[in-house]
Structure 1
Amino acid sequence: MTPSAFPPARFQSFEEKADPSQVAPRLAALRQAMAKAGVDAFLVPRADAHRGESVPPGEARLAYLTGFTGSAGLAVIGKDKAGLFVDSRYTLQAPAQTDTSLVTVHEAVGISPDIAQYVLKGGTLAYDPWLHTPGEVRDLTDKLKGHATLVPHANLVDTIWDDRPGAPVSPIEFLGHNRAGKETADKVADLRAVLAAEPADAVVLTLPESICWLFNMRGRDVPNTPFVLGFAIVPREGLPTLYLDSAKITPELTVALADIATVVEAKTLAAALETLGSDGKTVLIDPQSAPAAVADTLRQAGATLVEKRDPILGPKSRKNEVELAGMREAHTLDGIALAKFLAWFDREAPKGELTETGIVTALEAFRREDDTCVDASFDTISGAGPNGAIVHYRVTSKTDRRLAPGEIMLVDSGAQYLSGTTDITRTLSTGAATAEQQDRYTRVLKGMIAISMARFPKGTTGAQIDVLARQSLWQAGVTYNHGTGHGVGAFLGVHEGPVGIGPRYTAPLEAGNVISNEPGYYKAGEYGIRIENLLVVRESASHPGYLEFETLTLAPIDTRLIDRQLMRPEEIDWLNAYHKRVREEISPRLEGEAKEWLAAATDAI
C-alpha cells in the first residue's frame, strides 16, 4: 500500500503556518498601539490564561505577531527593535519562521535578563496579566530593577488582530466510573482536606487538566488534548463553581453537574475573586500557573494568598487502577496499529518513495482503524535523515523530505484513545548503518533499558535516576540536551507534571505515575536517534519500600541497529523478554503480513 492509498490526515496539518512577510506590518501596527497607550515595550508570550501546551487559534498571539509556531517562547517588542526568546528545541525553527531582519532570536530558558535591552532605560514594559504568572512577574521585576518598570495592561495584540478567531466551543463529555475510577464528590472531598490542612478557605484552579480531572469531564477546545477551557473555585465548604464560556453552558451540562458544581459564565470570575477578597478569605493559588491577574485581583480586594503548587497535580499524576487499566488498553490498541505501520514501513522504505508527510499519514490511518482513537496526542515528529536531529521537528509541506534507503528514520508520535493517552518513539533502519550510528543507537537503547530495569527507594526523584539513561552515552563523550522523561495523563495531556525524569524533576516518583522514558542522540545535519516507551511506577513486589517500573508501550524496538558487543547479558535478556511480551500480547490481534512481520521483528537476539 503506497502512501497515496491512505486517507488524508485529520489529526495533523502539514500547512506552513508561518508567514515572515506579515511580521513587518504587524510589528508596525503594534508599535502604533504601544505609542497610543504610552508604553515603551510590550511582552507577547506563547501562553494563554490556562498555560496549556496547545492554545486555541485566537490565543496564538506569538505566532500571529512573529510567525513562530513553537509550543514555548516569548517576544518583547520595543520601540525600534524586537526579540524572540526560545529554548534549545526551537533555535532552528524560530529563525526560519520569523523575519530576522526585524526580530532577533535568542536561546534562553526561563526569563532572560536580555529582555532589558529592548526597553529604554527608565521606560515601561507592559504585559497582559492574564498571560503571565505571579512567579514570572516577580522574576521580570527583579531582572528589570533599576532599568525599567513593569506595568500590567490590556492586551495590545488583540487591538490590532482584526480577524482574531473567537473562543472555542466544543462538546463536553463526562467520564463514567468505569473510566475515571473515582467520583467527583470523592475528589472534591480530598481537595477540601488539603484546604483544611493549609488552612485555606478556597482554591482557584486555572489549569484545564486539573479542572477536567476533578470534574471527570473532557472536551475538544484545543488540538491534541481533550481539554475543556475554564476556571474553577473550590471552597472548603459549599459547592465548587465552574466558570465557562457562556456558549458551553447548556441545560445538559447543568443537569450533568447538578449537586456537583454551580456553572456560571467565565466573565463573572473577576467579581467572584473580589468577593473572596472583600470577605477576607484565605485563598490558595499556584504562583507558577495561575494568571497574575487572579493573584492581583484577590490581593487588592483583601484576600490572604497561600501560594503553593496546584493541589490537583499530585493526585492526578497517581493514576488509580481503573485509569491504569485504561492506559494499558490504549497501549494495546496502539501496539496493534504500530505493528501494522512498522510492517508497512519495512516493506515500503527500501523503495525510496516514502516522504515524511506520507509516513505521518500512514501511521494516523493505522491508528484510526480503531474507532476509539479520537486524536493525536501531539503533532507527529517524522524526521528522515538529518531532520531526525531536530529534536522537535514538525514536518510541513514546505520542509517535507523524501526518505532515502540507508537513512535512519525517527518517528515520535502518540494518540488519544478514549481509554488513555500514548506516546512512543522508534528509530528505524532502512539499510546498512555506519559503525557510529550503531554505537550511538546501542548506547541510547542501553540507557532506555537501564531506566526500565531500575529499582529505587520511595522518595527518589526523576532528577536522581536521570543519570542511568545517560551513563553509556557519557562513556563515549556524548549526551543529549533534553529531559529523559515527562509525566503523561490518562486521556489528558501527553505532558503533565509534577513528575518526570531529568534534572528539573525534583518531585518524588510515586506508585501510579505514568512517565516517558526517552533518551536520545542527535548529530546535527546527519541523523537523530531516540527510543521511547511509557512506564508506570509500581510498588516492588520483592523489595518492600522500593518502587520499580512496568512498561506500558507494546511495539518492537529495531534490533538491526544494535551493536551486540556493547550489550550486557542482562540488557539482552530484558530486550528479549520485552519482545516476547509484545509478541504474546499483540500477535493474537493481528493477521496476515503484519502478524508474520511481528514474529520476525520480535525474534530473540
Structure 2
Amino acid sequence: MPSRFQSFDDPADPAATRPRLAALRAELAHRDLDGFVVPRADRWQNEYVAPCDERLAWLTGFTGSAGAAIVLADRAVLFVDGRYTLQAAEQVDPGLFEIAHLTDTPPSDWIEANLPAGRRLGYDPWLHTVRGAEKLATACATAGGTLVPVETNPVDAVWTDRPAPPRGAVVIHDTRHAGEAATDKLARLRSELAAGRLAALVVSDPHAVAWLFNIRGSDVAHTPLPLATAIVPADDRPSLYVEAGKIAPAVREALAGLADLPDPDAFEHDLARLAATGAAIRIDDATGADALARIVTQAGGQVSRGADPIALMKAVKNETEIDGARAAHRRDGIALTRFLAWLDRACRDGAADHMPTEIDAVEALEQFRADTGLLEDVSFPTISGAGPNGAIVHYRVTRRTNRRLAPGELFLIDSGAQYVDGTTDVTRTVAIGTPSDEMRDRFTRVLKGHIAVARAVFPDGTTGAQLDSFARMFLWSAGLDFDHGTGHGIGSYLSVHEGPARISKLGTTPLMRGMILSDEPGYYKTGAYGIRIENLLLVIAAPPVAGAEKPLNAFETLTLAPIDLRLVAPALMSDDEIAWLDAYHTRVRAILSPALDAQTRDWLAQATRPVAAFAGVTA
C-alpha cells in the first residue's frame, strides 16, 4: 500500500536552480544588496517547515532539515552539517554552490574570510535568532561590510510559484493525554515569569504554544503543530495569535476561556504596544526571531534574553505523558517486530531480483503501524538505507535512488510514529544474509556504546555532554567515530527532536527525571554501509546505592524491538554487556509476544534467544 505520509518523488534537477540563483542575484542588485543569507528556517525556527518556507531547497536543491546558503554576486556557498555532506553533494550543482561544513566553517567564519570590504549583506530578521543575527553582524563588521535587515524576503520576490501558507485545523489535546490542564500550565509559567521579574514572555516556538494551551495542529509535516504565537503577561490575560480559519467554534470556545484570540496581523502592533511601557519582555534565545527583539527595542522596551521557561517544563514529562509514552512504545514495538519478521522472511525466501526495495520497506513498516488503528503520522520521513545508502546519515529514499536489498549487505531503517499518547523514534540495522567480520566488529562497537549509555548511573546535574563519550569510546579505541549527536529529546505527541536536553558534545542542559531522550550511536562507511542502533530512554531515579552522597539517576529503556544478534560479536562484549542484551531481549519478548500472531511470535522467540545460544553468532 502506498505511503500516506511520505513522498518518494525525486528532488529537482540541480540544473533547475541556475535560473533561480540568477533571478535572486538580479533582485539583490535591484535592492542595492551585495549578497543575502538564506537559512533553512521559518519565522518560528521549526525543524520541519511548510512548503512555502522551503526557501533553501527551492534555491539550492538541498532538501535536508538543517543548513544555510550565502549568495554573493560572484559566488555562493551552501553550509550543511555532517549528517548531510553526502546528500548535499548529490543534490546541489557544484558549479553554482560551494559546499562547506556548517560546524567546521560556520557562516560567520566564512563571511569574515570572504565578504569583500564595503559590501552590504542582506538578511531576513524573521528567519534568524537574535544570537544568530548578532554573529552575522559581527562577522560583517570584521570583514568591513554591513549586515542589512530586509523588510521583505528577496527570495519570495522571485519565487513565482511559491505555495500558499498552510491552513491546518487546530484541535484540543485532551488532558487525558496531556496530563495537566492548560490553566495549571499557565499558572506555573506565570510563577516562572514573576521569579524572573519579567513582565511578559513572547512564546515564539509553536511547540511551546501547543504544549502550553494543550492544542495540536497540522501545519507542518510529521509534527502536529499549529503555526501560532502567543504573548503571556505575568499578571494579565494571554493572547494567542492563530488564524481564525483554523479554529472551529467549539475549539474557539475552549480557548477563549484561556486567552484572547486576536488576528495574527495584530501581533507586531500588540508587542510594540506592550514594549512601549518599558516592560522587560523575555524572548527565547534558542528560537526567538531577531525581528522580535527589533520590535521591542524600537518601541522602547527591554529585551530579556534567555530560555523560554516552557522549554524545560515541556521536556520534563508528567506521569500521564510517561504512561502514554510507554503505551505508544508497546504498540510501536509490536508493529516494528511484525515488520522485522516480515523483512526477514522476504529476504530469506525471495530470489535476488524479488528482494524488497527501500521503498517497499518504508511502505510495509508504515502499514504495520497503521494496522494499530492509532497512527496519526510518521514522526519524520523514514530513513530506509540499503548497503551504501545506509551510510548517508539522513538518507531519504526517492524513486531514483531506491535500492533493492541484497545478500551480504546491511539495511538501516530509522523510523518513528506519532500517536496521540506518544511519539516514537527507533533505528535498527539488519544483516541481509551473512555479514562480514568487519560489519560485526563495527556493529558490536556501536552496540557497546549504546549499552554504556543505557546502563549509565549519574548524579543530578549531569549533562548530555558528559554522557556523550560513553557512546563513542569503543569506536574511538579503534580510531572510529560518528559525526552526529548521540541523542536528542523527544516530545509528547510533538516534535521527535525536542530541546533543550540532548546527549551530544554540545548538550549543556542537565538531564532531569521525566525527560525522554534517544540513545543512537552509529558508524558509517562511505560507499559501503551504515550502522545505527537507537532506543528511547526515560530518565528515572536510580536504584539505591549504598553510601551515595548525591541523588542518582538512571535510564529506563522505552523502545521494545529486537536487536539483530547476527551482527553481534560476543568476543568483543563483556559479561555485563551480554547480560544487559539478554535481559533486554527477555523483556521485549515478554511484553510483545502476547500481542503477536503465532508466526511472528515464533520468529521473535528465535530473534531474542540468549546470545550464547544464538546459532547465527560465532565468537
Q: TM-score, normalised by structure 2?
A: 0.95
Separation (CA, whole Å) in 2 of partners of 1:479 and 1:287: 31
- Residue in 2 aligned with 1:410? 412
Separation (CA, whole Å) in 2 of partners of 1:98 and 1:452: 38
Equivalences for residues 445-456 of structure 1 within 5 A = 445-456=447-458
- Residue in 2 aligned with 1:282? 280
Separation (CA, whole Å) in 2 of partners of 1:107 and 1:120: 21
- Residue in 1 aligned with 2:96? 102
Q: CA deviation at 1:482?
A: 1.1
Q: TM-score, normalised by structure 1?
A: 0.97
Q: CA deviation at 1:247?
A: 2.3
- Residue in 2 aligned with 1:475? 477
Q: Give the gaps of 5 or more residues in structure 1.
A: 1-6
- Contact 1:18–1:69 (CA under 8 A) maintained in structure 2: no
Count of residue pairs the alignment pairs up: 599
Q: Indicate the SS of the match to 1:283.
A: strand
Separation (CA, whole Å) in 1 of partners of 2:114 and 2:242: 37
Separation (CA, whole Å) in 1 of partners of 2:484 and 2:64: 16
Q: CA deviation at 1:253?
A: 2.8
- Contact 2:408–2:436 (CA under 8 A) maintained in structure 1: no
Letter aligned with residue 553 of structure 1? T
Q: CA deviation at 1:288?
A: 2.6
Structure 2 residue 375 is matched with structure 1 residue 373: yes
Structure 2 residue 552 is matched with structure 1 residue 546: yes
Q: CA deviation at 1:249?
A: 3.9
Separation (CA, whole Å) in 1 of partners of 2:298 and 2:247: 30
Bigger CA drift: 465-474 or 184-193?
A: 465-474
- Residue in 2 aligned with 1:400? 402
Letter aligned with residue 486 of structure 1? H
Residues 266/118 of structure 1: CA separation in 2 closer, same or farther (3 Å cut): farther
Structure 2 residue 5 is matched with structure 1 residue 16: no
Structure 2 residue 561 is matched with structure 1 residue 559: no
Equivalences for residues 143-222 of structure 1 within 5 A = 143-146=139-142, 147-153=144-150, 154-222=152-220
Separation (CA, whole Å) in 2 of partners of 1:519 and 1:43: 33
Q: Indicate the SS of the match to 2:2.
A: coil
- Residue in 2 aligned with 1:299? 297
Bigger CA drift: 76-85 or 557-566?
A: 76-85
Q: CA deviation at 1:118?
A: 5.8
- Contact 1:40–1:119 (CA under 8 A) maintained in structure 2: no
1:86 paired residue among 80, 83, 93 = 80
Letter aligned with residue 431 of structure 1? G
* Percent identity over paired residues: 49
Q: CA deviation at 1:18?
A: 2.6
Equivalences for residues 107-146 of structure 1 within 5 A = 107-109=101-103, 110-116=106-112, 119-146=115-142
- Residue in 2 aligned with 1:578? 584
Separation (CA, whole Å) in 2 of partners of 1:40 and 1:250: 46
2:459 paired residue among 457, 470, 476 = 457
Separation (CA, whole Å) in 1 of partners of 2:87 and 2:447: 28
Q: CA deviation at 1:46?
A: 0.5
Q: CA deviation at 1:229?
A: 0.6
- Residue in 2 aligned with 1:357? 359
- Residue in 2 aligned with 1:532? 534
- Residue in 1 aligned with 2:616? none
- Contact 2:115–2:140 (CA under 8 A) maintained in structure 1: no
Q: CA deviation at 1:93?
A: 1.3
- Contact 1:81–1:118 (CA under 8 A) maintained in structure 2: no
Separation (CA, whole Å) in 2 of partners of 1:116 and 1:160: 28
Q: Indicate the SS of the match to 1:482.
A: coil
| CA deviation vs aligned residue, 1:50-101 (integer Å, no higher than 9, x gap) | 1111000000011111111110111111112211111111112113212221
Structure 2 residue 474 is matched with structure 1 residue 495: no
- Contact 1:18–1:63 (CA under 8 A) maintained in structure 2: no
- Contact 1:180–1:323 (CA under 8 A) maintained in structure 2: yes
Separation (CA, whole Å) in 1 of partners of 2:114 and 2:128: 18
| CA deviation vs aligned residue, 1:468-495 (integer Å, no higher than 9, x gap) | 1112112222111111111001110000
Separation (CA, whole Å) in 2 of partners of 1:177 and 1:92: 43
Separation (CA, whole Å) in 2 of partners of 1:307 and 1:360: 43
Q: CA deviation at 1:17?
A: 2.7
- Residue in 1 aligned with 2:37? 43
- Residue in 1 aligned with 2:594? 588
- Residue in 2 aligned with 1:4? none
Separation (CA, whole Å) in 2 of partners of 1:426 and 1:244: 39
Bigger CA drift: 554-563 or 166-175?
A: 166-175
- Residue in 1 aligned with 2:516? 514
Separation (CA, whole Å) in 1 of partners of 2:241 and 2:275: 18
Letter aligned with residue 452 of structure 2? A
Letter aligned with residue 609 of structure 2? D
Separation (CA, whole Å) in 1 of partners of 2:188 and 2:13: 48
Q: Indicate the SS of the match to 1:145.
A: helix
Letter aligned with residue 334 of structure 1? D
Q: Indicate the SS of the match to 1:556.
A: coil
- Contact 1:77–1:118 (CA under 8 A) maintained in structure 2: no
Q: Indicate the SS of the match to 1:425.
A: strand
- Contact 1:340–1:594 (CA under 8 A) maintained in structure 2: yes
Bigger CA drift: 328-337 or 24-33?
A: 24-33
Q: Indicate the SS of the match to 2:107.
A: coil
Q: CA deviation at 1:117?
A: 5.8
Separation (CA, whole Å) in 1 of partners of 2:243 and 2:3: 30
- Residue in 2 aligned with 1:3? none
Separation (CA, whole Å) in 2 of partners of 1:255 and 1:118: 55
Separation (CA, whole Å) in 2 of partners of 1:61 and 1:325: 39
- Contact 1:83–1:115 (CA under 8 A) maintained in structure 2: no
Separation (CA, whole Å) in 2 of partners of 1:108 and 1:214: 33
Letter aligned with residue 29 of structure 1? A
Separation (CA, whole Å) in 2 of partners of 1:191 and 1:275: 22
Separation (CA, whole Å) in 2 of partners of 1:527 and 1:273: 51
Q: Give the gaps of 5 or more residues in structure 2.
A: 612-619
Separation (CA, whole Å) in 2 of partners of 1:316 and 1:275: 29
Letter aligned with residue 145 of structure 1? A
Equivalences for residues 410-429 of structure 1 within 5 A = 410-429=412-431
| CA deviation vs aligned residue, 1:448-476 (integer Å, no higher than 9, x gap) | 11111111111111111112111211222
Separation (CA, whole Å) in 1 of partners of 2:466 and 2:575: 25
2:24 paired residue among 26, 30, 35 = 30
Q: CA deviation at 1:329?
A: 0.7
Instruction: Supply the RMSD in Å over aligned alpha carbons.
Output: 1.3
- Residue in 1 aligned with 2:614? none
Letter aligned with residue 163 of structure 1? D
Separation (CA, whole Å) in 1 of partners of 2:122 and 2:276: 28
| CA deviation vs aligned residue, 1:533-572 (integer Å, no higher than 9, x gap) | 0000011232471000000000001111111111111111
Separation (CA, whole Å) in 1 of partners of 2:595 and 2:117: 67
Structure 2 residue 218 is matched with structure 1 residue 224: no
- Contact 2:169–2:247 (CA under 8 A) maintained in structure 1: no
Q: CA deviation at 1:417?
A: 1.0
Letter aligned with residue 10 of structure 1? R
Q: Indicate the SS of the match to 2:409.
A: coil
Q: Indicate the SS of the match to 1:312.
A: helix
Q: CA deviation at 1:116?
A: 4.7
Letter aligned with residue 484 of structure 2? H
Q: CA deviation at 1:411?
A: 0.7
Separation (CA, whole Å) in 1 of partners of 2:119 and 2:475: 48
